[in-house]
Amino acid sequence: MPELPEVETVVRTLAPHVEGWTFGSARLLRPSTLLPLSLPLATLEGLTIKRVWRRAKLLMLDLSGEDSSNQIRPEFLIFHLRMTGRVTPKHGSRPDKHTRCIFPLSHPGEDDKTLFFDDIRTFGKIFAATRPLLEKWDFWATLGLEPLEMSIDDLAGRLIGARPIKTALLDQKTIAGIGNIYADEALHLAHIHPLKPACSLTNKESGRLMKAIKAILGKAISQCGSSIRDYRDANGNVGAFQNSFAVYGRGGEKCRKCGSILQKIKIGGRSTVFCEVCQKLK
């Protein structure tokens, strides 16, 4: 599910509901949802959510609070939604069969609410971390370029190796935030064949690719992401960008640009759809 535009949409829809709110006693219904390196969720109690933001596909909550005890307290609560994770604030709801974690929240002068982490396929992860813990784990260094902020030189400098360009785009250590949908869409918009070796892109092609990535991600964000099946924002709403796909999920259909039949192949185990006329391998 969520790639960069979906996580960005979750950030925007979640922030107004939880910023300034304070954690009560969290309940972890599925222990493996919490990363082994994470602090226990009990350490969240009494901490306040200062800011909701995003790095790559990670949903980040900055925390703050008085440290009256000697207990080590997390400075971040991090969610990776993977394929089917959902974060939803609700009033007075009960967990359902897919609820993996429950975070009670309070705020002076307001009715209590609960932040639910639901995840059908259970691939999603939660991580409560201190700054030193993240550094020790090399957390920031292993994350690739932020696509909306990269320059042509940033991107070109990362396109090394003979691996297919599609594989490079999906490698989160290279560029962080692009997934299977937006990789295919960006390559089609940039007129680049997904199997073209990453290192073989000309400067012109790298430039086109950078612009295409930003254009596709920006448009998807403006349409609140793509909902193929499970994705919902923090208000439970679907995105709209799935109605604008040029190639993703359209194998065997006609290219909207040139009318030829779109090809569907596997690259790195992932379904890949492209137009062999618009995206020449050469």
Partner DNA sequence: AGCGGGACCTGTGGGC
Partner DNA sequence: TGCCCACAGGTCCCGC
Helix (H) or strand (E) holding 180: helix 180-189
Q: Which of 15, 29, 35, 83 binds DNA (CB under 7 A)?
A: 83
| Contact call for residue 35 and DNA (CB under 7 A) | no
- Encoded amino acid at 227, one letter: S
| Contact call for residue 162 and DNA (CB under 7 A) | yes
Among the listed residues 5, 6, 8, 57, the single catalytic one is 57
Give the Cα separation of 167 and 68 in Å (integer): 48
Task: Say whether 270 is catalytic.
Answer: yes
**β-strands 113-119, 85-90: how paired?**
antiparallel
Candidate segments 13-21, 100-108, 161-169, 209-217, binder of DNA by CB under 7 A:
161-169
Task: Say whether 196 is catalytic.
Answer: no
| Contact call for residue 165 and DNA (CB under 7 A) | no
Nearest Cα neighbor of 3 from 140, 164, 175 is: 175
Q: Which of 230, 233, 234, 247 binds DNA (CB under 7 A)?
A: 230
CB burial of residue 273 (10 Å; 0-12, 13-18, 19+)? buried
Task: Say whether 55 is catalytic.
Answer: no
CB 127 within 8 Å of CB 32: no
Measured from the CB atom, the residue of 43 and 177 that comes closer to DNA is: 177
Task: Say whether 50 is catalytic.
Answer: no
- 271, 2, 90, 63 alpha-carbon torsion, rounded to 10°: 150
Q: Within its chain, how far is the Cα of 14 from the centroid?
A: 14
Q: How far is the CB of 99 from DNA (least distance, A)?
A: 12
CB 239 within 8 Å of CB 233: yes
Q: Which of 54, 55, 82, 211 binds DNA (CB under 7 A)?
A: 82
Site string for DNA, 113-152 (x = CB under 7 A): -------xxxx-----------------------------
Q: How far is the CB of 200 from DNA (least distance, A)?
A: 12
Q: How many helices (H) and strands (E) does the chain have?
A: 6, 11
Q: Which of 256, 268, 276, 277 binds DNA (CB under 7 A)?
A: 268
| Contact call for residue 237 and DNA (CB under 7 A) | no
Q: What is the DSSP letter of 120?
A: S
Residues forming contacts to DNA in the complex (CB under 7 A) are: 1-3, 6, 32, 56-57, 80, 82-83, 97-98, 120-123, 161-164, 167, 170, 172, 179-181, 225-231, 239, 266-271
What positions carry a catalytic annotation? Answer: 2-3, 57, 270
